[in-house]
Structure 1
Amino acid sequence: MRIGLIGTGRIGSFHAGVLARHPEVESLVLADADAGRAAGVAGALGAEAAPDVDALLGQALDAVVIASATAAHAELIARAARAGLPAFCEKPIALDVPRTLRALDAVAEAGTVLQLGFMRRFDAGYRAAREAVRSGRLGRLHTVRAVTSDPEPPPAAYLPLSGGLFRDCLVHDFDIVRWVTGREVVEVYATGSDTGPAMFREAGDVDTAAAVLTLDDGMLVTATATRCNGAGYDVRMELAGERDQIVVGLDDRTPLASVEPQGPPAPGKPWPGFLERFAPAYEAELDAFVRLVRGEAPNPCDGREALAALRIAEACERSRRERGPVRLAGVGEPAGGDGAGSAG
């Protein structure tokens, strides 16, 4: 199999390494807006480098992996579709619903496939939680608590391009809540705080946010996020039911210390970031993409799932600005339907 990869920044370089090691990938071609960076990564991996995206798409490829800057995702998805190529793309497709829909339309019109990079769906803990819910082990779920805490803020220049904390960060939680519970969000109530570094206020963003989500069966979900968790990278999900409760993301590297006399101490080596915490999940999602392209497995995360998560993020941002609850019905809906995926 011959795969093209667009974008050789931090996550793109990681994906390139995974693909270069994959037994079914015979050759890999890399391209980046910075041609020198692509050439450097390619040289280190024994891959090929194309001078630009046009040259990459002109190769005899079997598929494309898109790990470029967010602003380029939608157009690159459409270009891959027009070239008849299956595509894997890091989230998001776009930061707004209209551009997301145009990219999805391009894929549908071309009859190709698009897999989205919501890597938590491939994490062992989240998969076990989904199975626990499906098996009935927990009984009726009544409360879910999702947490995403970054150890330090991103560069200031990134914030105006990120889409804000709900679209950039909490969108992962919105997706995984749908996937684990199998339910849809019907209403949100969200707020945020910008009392941290001034760059958040200057970008019109918040450094910390919280949302209460009401699901279609009445279940309540809290989802919180911050860019300023100095203890380390902390991503967890607690699921409480009438019979049992479980937690995802609690291990000997979780940056959380008990103050109880017999409680566990702070970890000696807390998780420093998302690549370290979710490395096996990133590898698993690309393996799933390879199997999808080979016709050996169905699409594990269709592009419509990104649309569903984005609509929740947009509802939360509206709720934060309007200081009130927002129903999902009508948020970002195209004429004739919502076009969202199914949580099932």
Structure 2
Amino acid sequence: MRIGIMGLGRIGSFHAETLAGLDGVDSLVVTDPVAAAVATATERFGATATDSPEALLAAGVDGVVIAAATDAHPDLILAAVRGGIPVFCEKPVARGVEESLEVLRAVEGSGVEVHIGYNRRFDAGFAAARRAVLSGELGDLHTVRSTTLDPAPPPLAYVAVSGGIFRDCGVHDFDIVRWVTGREVVEVYATGGNRGAEYIREAGDVDTASALLTLDDGTIAVISDSRHNARGHDVRLELHGMKDSIAVGLEDRLPLHLDDRVVVRTAAGERTEELGRRSSYTYQLEAFAAHLRRGTPLTLDAADALTTMRLIDDCYRAAGFPVRPRAVLPATA
């Protein structure tokens, strides 16, 4: 197979390395506005360089991976769909609901699959948590907590086009709460603030945000996101039920104190996000490659991702940073 990659930043470069090592992927075709990133990909992976997305789509690729900035996602997805080329696109679909709807309308009836990259659905721990919930092992849930903490803020160029902390960071939390619990959200509270990088405030965003969600069965879910975590990238999920509780993602990077004993302790800043070769990032691309080879169904499409985008937009309306009003969602949201 011949796979195209649009965007060779941090995650795009990682995807290139992953794809280059997958069975059945014979060659890569890449494009990025940064010439140095393209040169690195051609040297490391023997990729073929193109000077534009249009040239890449015309290069005979069997599928395309979109890892460009969020604001470029809709146009790139639509261009691939018009060319009849299956798409794996990094989250989110677009910066807002209207753009996402445009993509969804184009995809529906096209016969072209568009998979959105919510990698936590491919993580063994999160999958086990979902099984525990759906099997009834935990009993009826009453509380869910989902956390995403980044080690440091992204650069201004990224913040300016990301669509905001809920869309480019917290979007994973909103998606995983829905997926693991199998429930939809009917009510949200949200808020956020700035305690760090001034350029995030100037861009109209916040560096720390939280949302309180009510699910359609009455379960309460709390989402917490921040751009600042001295101990590195931290992703956690807790589910508390009437019969049992389960936690996913707790690692030795966070000091845990019990009474006067420190149970776990590591040096602040020692760890950063580790994208291992057999991580959920790898598994999601293996699933995409399997779809290209054998038509294996994909786990998350543009329609499912749109539901999460609507939820995030409701959170922004609820937050009105820094005020804390309430938004009630319609039953079909």
Query: Shorter-chain TM-score: which interval?
Result: over 0.9
Whether contact under 8 Å (1:311, 1:328) holds in the other structure is no
2:330 maps to 329
Q: How far off its partner does 1:158 sit?
A: 2.4
Whether contact under 8 Å (2:71, 2:162) holds in the other structure is no
Distance of 1:248 and 1:229 partners within structure 2 = 18
Q: How far off its partner does 1:233 sit?
A: 1.6
2:210 maps to 210
With over 3 angstroms needed to count, the CA separation of the structure-2 counterparts of 1:114 and 1:164, relative to structure 1, is same
Distance of 1:275 and 1:303 partners within structure 2 = 27
2:3 match: secondary structure = strand
Distance of 2:269 and 2:184 partners within structure 1 = 33
Q: How far off its partner does 1:271 sit?
A: 7.2
Question: What are the Cα deviations for residues 284-339 of structure 1, in whole angstroms up to 9, with x where unaligned?
Answer: 00000011122352111111122111111111111111621112229xxxxxxx6x
With over 3 angstroms needed to count, the CA separation of the structure-2 counterparts of 1:89 and 1:310, relative to structure 1, is same
Distance of 1:328 and 1:298 partners within structure 2 = 30
1:88 match: secondary structure = strand
Distance of 1:159 and 1:197 partners within structure 2 = 11
TM-score normalised to the size of structure 2? 0.94
The residue correspondences of 1:301-320 to structure 2 (distance < 5 A) are 301-320=300-319
Question: What are the Cα deviations for residues 52-78 of structure 1, in whole angstroms up to 9, with x where unaligned?
Answer: 212111112211111111111111100
The residue correspondences of 1:1-344 to structure 2 (distance < 5 A) are 1-252=1-252, 254-258=253-257, 260-267=259-266, 272-276=271-275, 280-321=279-320, 323-329=324-330
Distance of 1:106 and 1:273 partners within structure 2 = 38
Q: Which amino acid aligns with 1:244?
A: D
* Structure 2: tracts of 5 or more residues without a match: none
Whether contact under 8 Å (2:234, 2:273) holds in the other structure is no
Distance of 1:165 and 1:183 partners within structure 2 = 23
Whether contact under 8 Å (1:28, 1:48) holds in the other structure is yes
TM-score normalised to the size of structure 1? 0.91
Q: How far off its partner does 1:152 sit?
A: 1.5
Question: What are the Cα deviations for residues 198-241 of structure 1, in whole angstroms up to 9, with x where unaligned?
Answer: 22321221111111100000100011111112122211011000
Distance of 2:297 and 2:150 partners within structure 1 = 32
Whether contact under 8 Å (1:236, 1:249) holds in the other structure is yes
Whether contact under 8 Å (1:188, 1:325) holds in the other structure is yes
Whether contact under 8 Å (2:254, 2:264) holds in the other structure is no
1:294 match: secondary structure = helix
Q: Which amino acid aligns with 1:236?
A: R
Whether contact under 8 Å (1:73, 1:93) holds in the other structure is yes
Percent of aligned pairs sharing the same letter: 48
With over 3 angstroms needed to count, the CA separation of the structure-2 counterparts of 1:269 and 1:210, relative to structure 1, is closer
1:276 match: secondary structure = coil
1:333 maps to none
Aligned residues: 331
Q: Which amino acid aligns with 1:14?
A: F
With over 3 angstroms needed to count, the CA separation of the structure-2 counterparts of 1:82 and 1:230, relative to structure 1, is same
**What is the aligned-residue RMSD (CA, Å)?**
2.0
Segment drifting more, 121-130 vs 29-38: 29-38
With over 3 angstroms needed to count, the CA separation of the structure-2 counterparts of 1:160 and 1:123, relative to structure 1, is same
With over 3 angstroms needed to count, the CA separation of the structure-2 counterparts of 1:59 and 1:300, relative to structure 1, is same
Q: Which amino acid aligns with 2:183?
A: R
Distance of 2:121 and 2:58 partners within structure 1 = 32
Q: How far off its partner does 1:173 sit?
A: 0.2
With over 3 angstroms needed to count, the CA separation of the structure-2 counterparts of 1:175 and 1:274, relative to structure 1, is farther
Runs in 1 of length 4+ with deviation above 4 angstroms?
Answer: 268-271
Distance of 1:277 and 1:207 partners within structure 2 = 27
With over 3 angstroms needed to count, the CA separation of the structure-2 counterparts of 1:92 and 1:295, relative to structure 1, is same
Q: Which amino acid aligns with 1:298?
A: P
Q: Which amino acid aligns with 1:287?
A: E
2:108 match: secondary structure = helix
